[in-house]
């Protein structure tokens, strides 16, 4: 997700006012879009640098990089251990395979799929990561971008990472119908847009050789039921929300790490 930048784009959601069916309904959507723009949203914590090493020194190493929007930075929390990257790193380090996780993030708050090319270039600088986790889609959905276009940019980013022999796990657009920063019917419009985005993302990622975790389907019901999964702005995840996402992503990331480890240990050809 993103900070105040994506909220400004919500004004475009009023363009779907015909879904309301009446002029009165359109006015409600327009009013809610204005209210969404005026809210204060969580901002990136400048002192929170997502570059750390977690785990026993003797454990098998895993270079894990996060790409995407504010979710990849942990916007909404103020401690490393509460971010999705920090929680994933600790789960991988403490799990049955026990990894020494070298974690970094090249995510940028407010990013959309068109921004991933630059992030991929940054992720591939220096020592190649073993696994990349990409969290993207909410800003494209709130901007009402064409799902096919956004998914094509995502697929291209995944393909570049796979060609560099990086295992890729993509968390698709989360359930925007669970946010509490806006009310119905605008919330339903955002939820509909997010589902369309996630479906297009799934096809593109699988075609590019990546692994998909459908965050909307797997974690949306939890976010809808528990307001505590969102931070104070009612839009970005809280520490509990990132924990829910981390556990949803964990099986796919562990599987990707196992593949990367086997490739790392494989003797060179010839």
The residues annotated as belonging to the active site are 70, 233, 236
Distance in angstroms (rounded) separating the CA atoms of residues 144 and 194: 9
Measure the CA–CA gap between 153 and 150, rounded to whole angstroms: 5
* CA angle (37 as vertex; 35, 38 as ends), nearest 5: 65
The pair of three-digit structure tokens given for residue 134, joined into one six-digit string: 């990409």
Phi, psi of 178 (to 5 degrees): -95, -10
Strand (E) or helix (H) holding 211: strand 211-213
Q: Residue 190: which residues within 8 A CB-CB, separation 6 or more?
A: 10, 13, 141, 142, 176, 177, 179, 182
Distance CA 51, CA 20 (A): 46
**Alpha-carbon distance 13 to 169, whole Å?**
29
Burial class of residue 247, CB neighbours in 10 A (0-12, 13-18, 19+): middle
Phi-psi label, residue 101: left if phi above 0, alpha if psi -120 to 50, beta otherwise: beta
Please tell me the distance from the alpha carbon of residue 243 to that of residue 235, in angstroms, as a whole number: 16
**CA–CA separation, 94 and 220 (whole Å):** 26
Pairing of strands 100-105, 51-54: antiparallel
């Amino acid at each position: 997700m993103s900070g105040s930048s994506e909220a400004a784009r919500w004004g475009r959601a009023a363009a779907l006012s015909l879904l309301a069916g009446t002029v009165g309904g359109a006015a409600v959507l327009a009013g809610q879009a204005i209210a969404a723009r005026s809210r204060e949203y969580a901002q990136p914590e400048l002192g929170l640098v997502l570059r750390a090493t977690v785990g026993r020194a003797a454990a098998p190493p895993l270079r894990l990089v996060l790409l995407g929007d504010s979710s990849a930075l942990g916007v909404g929390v103020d401690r490393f251990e509460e971010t999705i990257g920090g929680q994933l790193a600790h789960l991988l380090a403490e799990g049955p395979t026990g990894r020494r996780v070298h974690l970094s993030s090249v995510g940028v708050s407010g990013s959309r799929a068109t921004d991933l090319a630059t992030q991929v270039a940054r992720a591939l600088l220096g020592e190649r990561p073993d696994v990349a986790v990409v969290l993207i889609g909410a800003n494209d959905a709130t901007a009402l971008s064409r799902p096919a276009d956004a998914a094509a940019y995502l697929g291209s980013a995944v393909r570049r990472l796979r060609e560099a022999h990086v295992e890729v796990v993509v968390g698709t657009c989360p359930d925007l119908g669970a946010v509490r920063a806006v009310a119905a019917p605008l919330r339903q419009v955002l939820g509909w847009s997010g589902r369309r985005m996630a479906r297009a993302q799934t096809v593109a990622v699988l075609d590019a050789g990546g692994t998909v975790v459908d965050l909307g389907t797997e974690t949306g019901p939890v976010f809808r039921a528990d307001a505590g999964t969102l931070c104070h702005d009612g839009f970005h995840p809280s520490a509990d929300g990132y924990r829910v996402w981390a556990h949803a992503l964990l099986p796919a990331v562990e599987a990707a790490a196992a593949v990367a480890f086997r490739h790392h240990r494989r003797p060179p050809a010839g």
